[in-house]
Amino acid sequence: MDSENIYKIIQADCLKFLRRRAITNIDLTFVDPPFNQGKDYKYFNDTQPEEKYWSWLQEILKEIYTISTEGGAIYFMQREKNTEHVIRVLREANWVFQNLIIWKKMTSAVPSRYRYSKHHQIIVFATKGKKPRVFNRLRIDPPKAPNHKYERTNGMFVTDVWDDIRELTSGYFAGDEAIRNNRGERVHTQQSPIALLLRIILSSTKQGDIVFDPFAGTGVTLVVASQLKRKSIGIEIDPEYVELIRTRLKSLRPSDSVQRYFSYYRYTHNLTEIWQTPYFSTITQMQIFKDKQG
Ligand SMILES: C[S@@+](CC[C@H](N)C(=O)[O-])C[C@H]1O[C@@H](n2cnc3c(N)ncnc32)[C@H](O)[C@@H]1O
């Protein structure tokens, strides 16, 4: 691992790489694989027989289990219709279920004629062993719901329903966080938001821990981990995305910054311990400047 940058990007097929057992002591893994839904990946057949697809993922989960620390965490993101498979393959790979997180989307639901419209994606949080080695109980400060009578004074704990993280879509809402080419098109249609990885990494790691992403895509896991002073390892099969990750990490854009979320988490009791960033020195300097100015 590059000690200055504390991240490592590997261009490889993640299962083949994992089988070589070249990495170890992983404290947290974020798994966001292709969903086998017929998308156009250059290096992945996204239209496979179900059984083949799930046993491939199970092999990957088993390998990650072996190289994870005791109590290490895994967050596995998928379409809601696959919840049953996700829970099963994790269990069969020895992971202990902790939460089924509902990531409620902010954009319109996908309509359905015969059932309820779809408005969420799932993330299963599981651990190696019964108890997580780290779980920071984050507090957030979302706007007060209209039916709540009293103002909150110290925020609220994050629950298993995440309805405050905007997905990056093709339209207006993607904002400037989505990476685009010269024609303004998104370079990777599955790019996860900074806010999502921020929550996962803050909840399940301490500084100096190792975070792993076997399907790194645009490198969001590494982008967030490096700002929070966690080490990170990302594997990506597509050389173009690998190049994109390298470029992104060398020069983070303002929209890659985690700082804009700091105040949202300010009521977390151990925030200064788990999120030490230049923010503090900036704030301190601002305060000193203000004091000096009277
Ligand atoms: C759903 S995307 C991940 C997006 C990522 N979370 C982000 O925020 O950019 C899945 C990624 O896995 C990569 N991939 C597909 N098969 C792979 C394999 N066998 N090993 C490693 N990466 C693979 C794809 O190229 C794609 O970039």
Residues in the chain: 294
Q: What is the pLDDT of residue 278?
A: 59
Give me the percent of the chain exceeding a pLDDT of 70: 90
Ramachandran angles phi, psi of 205, nearest 5°: -145, 165
User: Within 13 Å of residue 266, how many CA atoms lie on the same side as its CB?
Assistant: 11
Structural domain count, the chain: 1
Is 1 part of any domain? no
For ligand 1, atom 15, the nearest C-alpha belongs to 44
Residue 54 located in a structural domain: yes
215 lines ligand 1 (CB under 6 A): yes
pLDDT surpassing 60 at residue 294: no
> Range of 87's domain?
7-293
Strand partners, 120: 104
CA distances from residue 70 to 94, 180, 195, 209 in whole angstroms, order as listed: 12, 39, 26, 13
Q: Which two tokens stand for residue 172?
A: 């207006």
- pLDDT tens for 243-270 read 999 999 999 999 999 999 999 999 999 9
Structure tokens at 279: 């923010």
Asked if residue 240 belongs to a domain, the reply is yes
- CATH label of the domain that carries residue 121: 3.40.50.150
Q: Is residue 15 part of a domain?
A: yes
User: Which residues 6+ apart lie within 8 Å of 174 measured at CB?
Assistant: 168, 186
The alpha carbon of 72 and the centre of ligand 1 are apart by a number of angstroms equal to 22
193 ligand 1 Cβ < 6 A: no
CA of 142 to the centre of ligand 1 (A): 31
Q: How far apart are the CA of 254 and the centre of ligand 1, in A?
A: 24
What share of the chain has pLDDT > 90, as a percent?
74
12: in domain = yes
192 close to ligand 1 (CB < 6 Angstrom): yes
* pLDDT value at 170 more than 70: no
Cα 32 to ligand 1 centroid, rounded to whole Å: 7
Interior CA angle at 147 toward 142 and 153, to 5°? Answer: 45
How many C-beta atoms surround the C-beta of residue 267 within 10 A?
17
Asked whether 132 lines ligand 1 (CB < 6 A), one says no
How is residue 37 annotated by DSSP? S
- Give the distance (Å) from ligand 1 centre to CA of residue 141: 32
pTM for the structure as a whole: 0.92
Place of tokens 């990170």: 232
Tokens coding 54: 């799930």
Q: What angle do CA 117, 179, 47 make, to 5 degrees?
A: 50
Q: Is residue 236 part of a domain?
A: yes
**Is residue 2 included in any domain, yes or no?**
no
